[in-house]
Structure 1
């Protein structure tokens, strides 16, 4: 009886020791930033490999890089307001540190009636930050996620 118990214990330990451990799902990554003009509003779309855990939105007058603290001047003419969007659980690089978004980090958006510029403000510790500069302080905004494909949408209009 004692030998069978020892054999069973060794077998159980072998299974748990050799069983592969499931790795955590990687952080959703940014692949593209698109902009577009619609009737009554301008839109920024962040194409993602998955959805962030959450997103936070605030109206601010200036932004800085989340890791360095260095100020970022959002590109574009006539910016009077900035919409700061923070994606918790998202990044612009993969698990090996390779960039997944290789486009401009700070660009003007000519041709859009409400949005003047877009800048990445954070890609640090699974936090992705985007600043959207706009001209009219009375503008409305909405930020939401969509699936198939996964994306975060930022609309600004009057």
Structure 2
């Protein structure tokens, strides 16, 4: 094979490899997308699970706050509770690139089946950042864990 044919063959192989990488990368979402919110009562803690598709969010930022507010507007979130816990999943979203919701459940709900947590709300879904808040009765410990297979953020609040 002459030098020109070899060069063309190498360029074709590189071009094919690049196209394969681009199509594979575009097939998988780069932002974890919220698909479901689950709650569960346990003997010593209440659990809220945020189910995602796609890659896992980084370790979320979480803190006890004096009140929950909606991202952007700063308006207070009307959620039952004496104490409030805010969790930010970044990257994360509850909508796809076309603006269609990936989580179609309620954006705010009460949790009468739980011992301490009284309510849940999505308080922000903007520019690849998903913010949720919890209202609960008694001051206690909190943990946030990110898990894979399937992708989820697990929030535990002591009872």
TM-score by length of 1: 0.82
**Which of 37, 52, 70 is the matching residue for 1:48?**
52
Range with bigger deviation, 124-133 or 44-53: 44-53
Over aligned residues, Cα RMSD in angstroms? 2.7
* Superimposed CA distance per residue, residues 94-151 of structure 1 (whole angstroms, 9 cap, x where no aligned partner): 12111000111111100210111000011000000010111112x1111101222111
Number of matched pairs: 152
Structure ranking higher in strand proportion: 1
1:132 equivalent in structure 2? 134
Aligned to 1:157: 158
Q: 1:59 aligns with which of 46, 51, 64?
A: 64
* Structure possessing the higher radius of gyration over alpha carbons: 1
- Unaligned ranges ≥5, structure 1: none
Between Structure 1 and Structure 2, which shows a larger proportion of helix residues? 2
| Structure 2 unaligned residues grouped into runs of 5+ | none
The corresponding residue for 1:69 is 74
Scaled by the length of structure 2, the TM-score of the pair is 0.82
The answer to whether the 8 A contact 1:54-1:89 is kept is no
Structure 1 residue corresponding to 2:89, chosen from 87, 90, 93: 87
